[in-house]
Amino acid sequence: MLKAVELRMPPVLLQGPGCLALMGKEVKRLGRKKALLITDKIMEKAGYVEKVGKILEEAGCSFAVFSDVAGEPTDKDVLAGHEVYKKNGCEFLVALGGGSPIDAAKAIGILETNGGKITDYMGLEKVQKPVLPLIAIPTTAGTGSEITKVTIINDTVNNVKMLISSPAIVPTVAVADPELTLSLPPAVTASTGLDAFCHAIEAFVSKKEQPMTDMVALKAIELISGNLRKAWCNGDDIVARSNMMIASTLGGIAFGNASVTLIHGMSRPIGAVFHIAHGISNAMLLPVWAEFTYLSKPEKFAEVAKAMGENISGLSIQQAAKKALDAIVSLCNDVEIPPLRKLIPDQAEFEKQLPKMARDAVASGSPGNNPRSVTEEKIIELYKKAY
């Protein structure tokens, strides 16, 4: 813990119910007159695009819309969005939606200021020039992309989810308004909420941990443990929704600076090969990862157990760590997270893809941050266990 570290997050974070209304002031401060609003069809149907568009117009800014981000963003989506940006003479970016539109917006910003193809930037610190100003407006409490220096884009040629990480792509403004999450269905509430939980717990035990990320990660774990079930049961519970949005922000700060570990390393190949949403992939892997990992840092998992509301008084460190595992399994069960086989019913195809997925998981770099070391063979074993 005694080491030099850096902590990065957006220069401006708007937080709390109704904070979307404050976005106009930030638009005026940017001093730019035309935005590309990157979103999806769901946001258009929900009326959120119209709402954000009105705020832009009231701030003296016109805008074009790119709403063709469907599911996990691909290199093709990024290229198409960049063409719309150039065609309409835009000057900055606004991303509205889950992690996919925000990730796509980051990648569009990379192309505009750095050139080349988005596949040129896979990996760490390859984006050299600052990207376009970006206002990121999440409509789920989970991905944390509005906070981080990371974007995930699917390379459709090699069928790989590319992790692109650079301080240059941290959004300029994050608008974390929980009122935008009130319409989320229970299944999405569960998967995105557990995605945020994964961000927090992975950062907390990561080899890249640091004191400040530990503090925010534990608070995120506490908030999710106390509020996810409530938000899942009653989507109109604004208190639970607000606490989940705060937790998502904290989780984003944590993993954006301390990184993720094995869960995300294993999750990305599932999304690339089987086109399963990132949040549910993480959630399905979480209990298996916890069982594999908890004894490697029992003192940390004991703190997790306490943050999740477990009584660890009088227990040994190992016993307390096991309490965290039990609490994680209970949380996943309560919000009805299925096993992998429910979303990948073709077991033969699943097993056929395991060697590639294990290789891609290791190649992503995230498993190297896991406190318990792992091989490709062990990853295959864990995939089978999660199935």
Per-residue pLDDT reduced to its tens digit, 68-113: 997 889 999 999 999 999 999 999 999 999 999 999 999 999 999 9
Mean pLDDT, to the nearest integer, of 2-13?
87
pLDDT digits (tens, 9 = 90+) for 8-58: 999 999 999 999 999 999 999 999 999 999 999 999 999 999 999 999 999
CATH code, 12-180: 3.40.50.1970
- Are the C-beta atoms of 374 and 368 separated by less than 8 Å? no
- CATH superfamily membership of 186-386: Dehydroquinate synthase-like - alpha domain (1.20.1090.10)
- Output phi, psi for 175, to 5 deg: -120, 100
DSSP 98: S
User: Kind of pairing, strands 92-97 and 134-138?
Assistant: parallel
Sheet holding 173-176, edge to edge: 12-15, 173-176, 134-138, 92-97, 34-38, 62-66
pLDDT digits (tens, 9 = 90+) for 354-387: 999 999 999 999 999 999 999 999 999 999 999 9
Per-residue confidence band for 7, with pLDDT thresholds at 50, 70 and 90: confident
Percentage of residues in the chain having pLDDT higher than 70: 99
Q: Which one, of 246, 78, 105, 224, lies nearest residue 176 by Cα?
A: 246
Mean pLDDT, to the nearest integer, of 189-210?
97
Q: Where are the alpha helices (DSSP H) in the chain?
A: 23-30, 41-46, 48-58, 75-87, 99-114, 186-205, 211-233, 238-258, 262-274, 278-293, 298-307, 317-334, 340-343, 347-363, 376-386
Domain ranges for the chain: 12-180, 186-386
Percentage of residues in the chain having pLDDT higher than 90: 93
For the cut 80, the answer to whether the pLDDT of residue 234 exceeds it is yes
pLDDT digits (tens, 9 = 90+) for 120-147: 999 999 999 999 999 999 999 998 999 9
Per-residue confidence band for 64, with pLDDT thresholds at 50, 70 and 90: very high
For the cut 90, the answer to whether the pLDDT of residue 159 exceeds it is no
For the cut 60, the answer to whether the pLDDT of residue 1 exceeds it is no
The predicted pLDDT at position 281 comes to 96
Per-residue confidence band for 168, with pLDDT thresholds at 50, 70 and 90: very high
- Are the C-beta atoms of 74 and 156 separated by less than 8 Å? yes
pLDDT digits (tens, 9 = 90+) for 340-349: 999 999 999 9
